[in-house]
Amino acid sequence: MPFRAFISADLPPLPALGELARDLGAASRDLKVVATDHLHLTLKFLGDTEEGLVPEIVGAMREACAGVGPFTIRVRGTGAFPNLARPGVLWVGIEGGEPLGRIAQVLDEHLVALGFTREPRPWSPHVTLARVRGRRGLDRAQEILRAHAEETFAEVRVDEVRLKKSVLGPGGPEYTTVDAVRLED
């Protein structure tokens, strides 16, 4: 039975991001704010995934992580895709995520052989905070993002990459870890 899947580096709960997410949610009811216990950096979105492919996906994760030891990223800055003037996704930025970019690139190359679509754009180091569903209250949300554009929220140690299952429900998605690969030198 297929399940909706993605590969990520997860963030621990960060109080500063929780506060920012609450402020954004209060600014506009047209924002779908991500639950702060679900914050992660998506390395590869897989979509519908056959359970029988899990061992091969985990093998690709191991290959992508080979030789990459644990490292620290800085959670810093805010912005929006495609841009702040016409936001569709509100995000917080990442500095020091180059090892994750390399992992994402290798995953993309290896997973094409399993039938997954190659990413059309280069990997962009960010954590999604909210998705825009309408236009009401966006001026205030844009002001909040501008006010935090240069702020450093936390430093986080990245020591594993996870294959996650996503089940969409009325309260938003629920994520569970299917398997994980630890980063080791």
Q: How far apart are CA 26 and CA 4, in angstroms?
A: 30
Question: How crowded is the C-beta side of 39, counted as CA atoms within 13 Å?
Answer: 26
Helix (H, G, I), strand (E, B) or coil at 108: helix
Whether 110 is catalytic is: no
Q: How far apart are CA 169 and CA 174, in angstroms?
A: 7
Residue of 38, 40, 110, 148 marked active site: 40
Whether 148 is catalytic is: no
Residue of 38, 110, 126, 148 marked active site: 126
Beta-bridge partner residues of 90: 80, 130
Torsion angles phi and psi, residue 103, rounded to 5: -60, -45
Category of 67 on φ-ψ map: left (φ > 0), alpha (ψ -120 to 50) or beta: left
Q: How far apart are CA 183 and CA 185, in angstroms?
A: 7
According to the 3-state scheme, what is the secondary structure of 41-94? Answer: EEEEEEEEECHHHHHHHHHHHHHHHCCCCCEEEEEEEEEEEECCCCEEEEEEEE
Catalytic residues, by residue number, are: 40, 126
